[in-house]
């Protein structure tokens, strides 16, 4: 069982690590141009796309859970139909985004303010990169489907290839073709479509035999879409709550002062680094939990959940120890600004306990996705956001200042872990085998 977990977790960890590398290269490319405006352009434009695509991440999670359960039951027809339905939904969503691109960008820049010059460049970036939406959404679906099929190596290879091509395209367009931030946008479009074609090629090569089970009438069956949307509606609400909480954290940091914004942004990177690793095990949970539920193997389901938490503890303790003994050195790696480093030290305590506090929430999310138990995920996130995070912040910000913001975030994560743990017997074990 440990081998099954690691065979899925390790490739997903590698996949996650490739993502920030692309962002660093893009910032470096723009940082060496003749104006800092280009950095602002890709930062603003990238933030808008992060919000959009994170909102539709249910395409990956929902596809993963349903596919894993079909894999467990060995339902070849359903495996092929899940992919077809999800790709059709992804196409419709992405075309809607393209059609509504002007209202979207108008609303985005009404909410997010930048200088006139930066905003103009960011708009140009957005209007180019939005054409990658069909490919990006399609890759979400393919990634979720491959994970559900217990295959994390293909998504890893696709992610490495896409990000490598993206870097290559961006360097070529910026340095050879003399493009600026619009070159980074175009490079992303080219890389995303390359990745989509690669993903479809792997499907044809390794799973092409599933085509013989494909039925057009099944693609148009409304009840299957209703089930898909019922689950993903809840995941969408859960994701919006998460986006709101993280955005609120950044906004309140910015509203305090520029130094606190810099401090919290740097310290939050510690959390993101840990998330790249623990998310690999959460993805493994999606695949294996769904598989064992589909196969009605309750013993294996309990075993994999127990081992996932064993790995979660085993991963979080070393990360916390590294942050305890090496946190200051990691800060020096991220910045050489002595003021920011000194101002960060009083808040390092929160970073040191974050891995221990948060790993359970990540793992339970993966387990619940695999069980397609989305109502419990939605309700937990609503409780954690509306009843814990926001009240805690407004109660604590006066007496505790920035510590109050960090404590509110910690309480948010603790609540998610505790509530999901309390609901697990009914929402995962009992519900799955009714």
d(CA 188, CA 125): 10
Note the pLDDT of residue 372.
83
For 37-75, the pLDDT digits (tens) are 676 677 677 778 878 888 888 888 888 888 998 888 888
At residue 127, the pLDDT reads: 92
**Mean pLDDT confidence for 327-340:** 74
> Among 191, 220, 249, which residue terminates a domain?
220
pLDDT band at 17 (very low <50, low <70, confident <90, very high): confident
pLDDT at 382: 96
401: region left, alpha or beta (phi > 0 left; psi from -120 to 50 alpha): left
pLDDT at 326 over 90: no
Q: If you average pLDDT over residues 88-114, what whole number do you get? A: 87
- pLDDT-derived band at 423 (thresholds 50, 70, 90) equals very high
Each residue of 89-101: pLDDT tens digit? 999 999 999 999 9
Q: What is the pLDDT of residues 185-230, one digit of tens each?
A: 899 899 999 999 999 999 999 888 877 766 666 566 666 677 777 7
Cα distance between residue 264 and residue 401, in whole Å: 13
Instruction: Decide which of 18 and 139 is more confident.
Output: 139
Enter the tokens of residue 354.
């974050």
Same domain, 311 and 430: yes
In a domain, 245, yes or no: yes
Say what the pLDDT of residue 177 is. 83
No. of H helices and E strands in the chain? Answer: 19, 0
pLDDT digit string (tens) for 235-270? 889 988 998 898 888 778 767 776 777 777 778 878
pLDDT(308) > 90 = yes
Assess whether 429 and 280 both reside in one domain.
yes
b/e per residue 73-104 (b: at least 16 CB within 10 A): eeebebbbbbbbbbbebbeebbeebeeeeeeb
pLDDT, residue 125, reads: 85
**4 occurs within a structural domain:** no
Instruction: Give the residue carrying structure tokens 């092929």.
Output: 80
Mean pLDDT (whole number) for 108-127: 78
Does 6 fall in a domain?
A: no
pLDDT at residue 224, rounded to an integer = 66
Confidence band, pLDDT 50/70/90 cuts, at residue 314: very high
Q: Does residue 181 share a domain with residue 107?
A: yes
Is residue 142's pLDDT more than 70? yes
Task: Kindly state whether residues 201 and 244 are assigned to the same domain.
Answer: no
pLDDT digit string (tens) for 357-390? 999 999 999 999 888 888 899 999 999 999 999 9
302 and 153, same structural domain?
no
Both 32 and 111 in a single domain? yes
Among 170, 192, 220, identify where a domain stops: 220
Q: Both 151 and 256 in a single domain?
A: no
| Percent with pLDDT over 90 in the chain | 34
Are both 277 and 192 inside the same structural domain? no
Q: 10 Å Cβ neighbour count for 332?
A: 11
**Tokens describing residue 183:** 């070159």
> Is 228 within a domain?
no
Q: Judge contact between 13 and 277, C-beta under 8 A.
A: yes
- Read out DSSP for 286-304? HHHHHHHHHTT-HHHHHHH
Average pLDDT, the chain: 85
Taking the C-alpha atoms of residue 140 and residue 317, their distance in angstroms, rounded to an integer, is 31
| Residue 5 covered by a domain | no
Q: Which residues contact 214 (CB under 8 A, 6 or more apart)?
A: 77, 80, 81, 84
DSSP at 32? T
What is the C-alpha to C-alpha distance for residues 111 and 270, in angstroms, rounded to an integer?
Answer: 28
- 183: Cβ–Cβ under 8 A, 6 or more apart, which residues? 170, 173, 174, 177
- 324 and 190 share one domain: no
Nearest of 236, 203, 237, 234 to residue 82 by alpha carbon: 203
**Residue 226 within any structural domain of the chain:** no
Same domain, 272 and 132: no
Domain membership flag for residue 191: yes
Within this chain, do residues 34 and 83 fall inside the same structural domain, yes or no?
yes
Together in a domain, 246 and 312: yes
Last residue of a domain, one of 220, 252, 274: 220
- Give a yes or no: residue 225 inside a domain: no
Please tell me the predicted confidence (pLDDT) of residue 318: 94
Q: How many domains does the chain have?
A: 2
Domain that holds residue 410: 233-434
Q: Are the C-beta atoms of residues 161 and 220 closer than 8 Å to each other?
A: no
């Amino acid at each position: 069982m440990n081998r099954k977990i690691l065979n899925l977790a390790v490739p997903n960890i590698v996949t996650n690590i490739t993502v920030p590398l692309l962002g660093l290269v893009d910032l470096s490319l723009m940082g060496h141009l003749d104006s800092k405006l280009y950095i602002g352009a890709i930062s603003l434009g990238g933030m808008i796309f992060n919000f959009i695509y994170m909102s539709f991440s249910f395409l990956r999670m929902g596809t993963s859970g349903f596919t894993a359960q079909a894999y467990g039951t060995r339902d070849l027809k359903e495996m092929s139909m899940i992919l077809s339905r999800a790709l059709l939904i992804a196409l419709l969503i992405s075309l809607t985004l393209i059609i509504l691109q002007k209202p979207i960008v108008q609303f985005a820049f009404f909410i997010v303010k930048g200088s006139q010059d930066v905003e103009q460049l960011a708009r140009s970036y957005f209007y180019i990169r939005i054409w990658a939406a069909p490919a990006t959404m399609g890759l979400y679906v393919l990634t979720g489907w491959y994970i559900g099929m217990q295959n994390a190596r293909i998504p890893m290879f696709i992610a490495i290839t896409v990000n490598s091509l993206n870097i290559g395209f961006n360097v070529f367009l910026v340095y050879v073709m003399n493009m600026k931030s619009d070159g980074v946008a175009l490079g992303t479009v080219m890389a995303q479509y390359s990745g989509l074609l690669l993903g479809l090629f792997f499907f044809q090569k390794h799973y092409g035999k599933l085509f013989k089970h494909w039925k057009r009438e099944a693609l148009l069956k409304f009840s299957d879409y209703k089930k898909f949307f019922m689950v993903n509606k809840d995941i969408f609400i859960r994701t919006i709550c998460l986006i709101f909480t993280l955005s609120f954290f950044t906004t309140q940091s910015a509203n305090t002062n520029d130094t606190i914004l810099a401090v919290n942004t740097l310290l939050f990177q510690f959390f993101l680094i840990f998330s790249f690793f623990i998310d690999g095990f959460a993805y493994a949970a999606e695949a294996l939990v769904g598989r064992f539920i589909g196969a009605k193997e309750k013993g294996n389901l309990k075993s994999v959940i127990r081992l996932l938490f064993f790995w979660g503890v085993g991963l979080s303790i070393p990360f916390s120890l590294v942050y305890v003994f090496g946190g200051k050195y990691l800060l020096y790696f991220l910045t050489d600004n002595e003021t920011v480093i000194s101002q960060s030290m009083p808040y390092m305590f929160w970073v040191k306990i974050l891995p221990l506090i948060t790993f359970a929430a990540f793992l339970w999310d993966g387990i619940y996705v695999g069980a397609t138990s989305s109502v419990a995920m939605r309700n937990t996130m609503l409780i954690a956001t509306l009843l814990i995070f926001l009240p805690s912040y407004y109660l604590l910000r006066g007496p505790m200042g920035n510590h109050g913001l960090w404590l509110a975030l910690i309480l948010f994560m603790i609540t998610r872990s505790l509530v999901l743990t309390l609901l697990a017997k009914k929402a995962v074990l009992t519900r799955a085998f009714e």
